[in-house]
Amino acid sequence: RSLTVAEADGDERAVEAALRPRSLDEVVGQQRVRDQLGLVLEAARRRERCPDHVLLSGPPGLGKTTLAMIIAHEMSVPLRLTSGPAITHAGDLAAILSGLNEGDVLFIDEIHRMSRPAEEMLYMAMEDFRVDVVIGKGPGATAIPLEIPPFTLVGATTRAGLLPGPLRDRFGFTAQLEFYDPRDLDTIVHRSADLLGVELTSEGSAQIAFRSRGTPRIANRLLRRVRDYAQVRAGGVVTLAVAEAALELYEVDDLGLDRLDRGVIDVLCRRFGGGPVGVSTLAVAVGEERETVEEVAEPFLVRIGFLARTPRGRVATPAAWAHLGLTPPPGAVG
């Protein structure tokens, strides 16, 4: 019996959960963040207090949710999960906050997408562990103060700059997660392969690591796709040749660029002469949401030196032109 799409999706998510490191010691890479966070948690444990609120920022798939889970695990307290888009009214947040127990870790993913009134309520909750719940409307409305037990907020956002200053300032510890280097990703691929029972050679693993866009989630996903290929079309072992053939099939190029990444530089060079062009225009041209282009594709393209953000818009660099096998026109910026 073959899996339905929903089952397959559930399965993928279950696999992702199974691959998550459970303690700070198991986290690969991000040495500085690990050291700093380790200290924050140890100090809190010694003082028998909740750790300060923590803000984690960085592109998707770099380990923000994983770190939130680890914070709760290391403090031996439950983790409550929610996300900015799920909090549309201040009342939604009040309900979550009033359900917390002392010491709980509350994780709010995409915290920059919370509604304004909820954000204001959160300021107060973070600082004074109390909120005012407004009952009724207009002149008859009354604010009822509500005590909240001390808790630790862990907020995640793709870019810290998306948060209003007053919210950012209320986090006692802020960590910016960086893209991983291929060596760390190689370690992650080996670890995941062990957990999944996938046999792979060191060249096969290095190839997956190198093409994972600096992102553990992508490394794990590519490993699973390459494993499929190895099982169906090759002898089951992930060798260099198997990894290369599978990645080509899934349209991941030799630098790890996927269709969206390539689409962005392709449109930028071919249609807009290399820029500068505004990100919204670029997003329309590739048929994607502006946020996706800005928060998923761009950070990696900037990191590998293919794209530059200038005050006048996005610009393709000579390396991007070369990757597409094109020569920049004489007047091209970049």
H-run or E-run covering 91:
helix 90-98
- Residue from 41, 44, 53, 63 binding ligand ADP (CB under 6 A): 63
Under the binding rule (CB under 6 A), the answer on residue 20 touching ligand ADP is yes
Beta-carbon contacts of residue 1 (< 8 Å; ≥ 6 apart): none
Residue 75 is given by DSSP the state T
Q: Is 60 in the site for ligand ADP (CB under 6 A)?
A: yes
Is 37 a residue that touches ligand ADP (CB under 6 A)? no
Which residues are documented as binding site for ATP?
A: 19-20, 61, 64-66, 127-129, 170, 180, 217
Interface region with ligand ADP, contact rule CB under 6 A, candidates 21-29, 39-47, 225-233, 309-317: 21-29
Identified catalytic residue from 104, 109, 186, 266: 109
Among residues 249, 241, 207, the alpha carbon closest in space to that of 225 is found at: 249
1 has catalytic annotation = no
Q: Is 158 in the site for ligand ADP (CB under 6 A)?
A: no
Region binding ligand ADP by CB under 6 A among candidate stretches 41-49, 57-65, 145-153, 202-210: 57-65
Binding residues: 19-20, 61, 64-66, 127-129, 170, 180, 217, 290, 309, 314
One residue of 29, 155, 276, 299 binding ligand ADP per CB under 6 A = 29
List Cα–Cα distances, 284 to 65, 112, 113, 279, 289, in angstroms: 30, 23, 22, 9, 7
Sole binder of ligand ADP in the list 216, 263, 276, 313 (CB under 6 A): 216
Contact between 297 and 261 (Cβ < 8 Å): yes
**Part in contact with ligand ADP (CB under 6 A); list of ranges 25-33, 46-54, 94-102, 160-168:** 25-33
Does 217 participate in catalysis according to the annotation? Answer: yes
DSSP 216-228: HHHHHHHHHHHHH
Single out the residue of 19, 87, 163, 223 in contact with ligand ADP (rule: CB under 6 A). Answer: 19
Q: How far apart are the first and last CA of the chain?
A: 54
> Which residue in the set 33, 77, 90, 188 belongs to the binding site for ligand ADP (CB under 6 A)?
188
Can you list the alpha helix ranges (DSSP code H) found in 129-254? 165-168, 182-196, 202-210, 216-233, 240-249
101's tokens: 């127990």
Distance (Å, whole) CA 88 – CA 136: 18
CA dihedral 288, 291, 295, 301 (to 10 degrees): 40
Q: Give the three-state DSSP class for 133.
A: strand
Query: Is there a catalytic annotation at residue 109?
Result: yes
Sign, CA torsion 194/199/205/209: negative
Asked if 220 touches ligand ADP (CB under 6 A), the answer is yes
137's tokens: 């409307």
The residue whose Cβ lies closest to ligand ADP is 63
Query: Which parts of this chain interact with ligand ADP (CB under 6 A)?
Result: 16, 19-21, 27-30, 60-66, 156, 188, 216-217, 220
Catalytic residue numbers read 64-65, 109, 158, 217
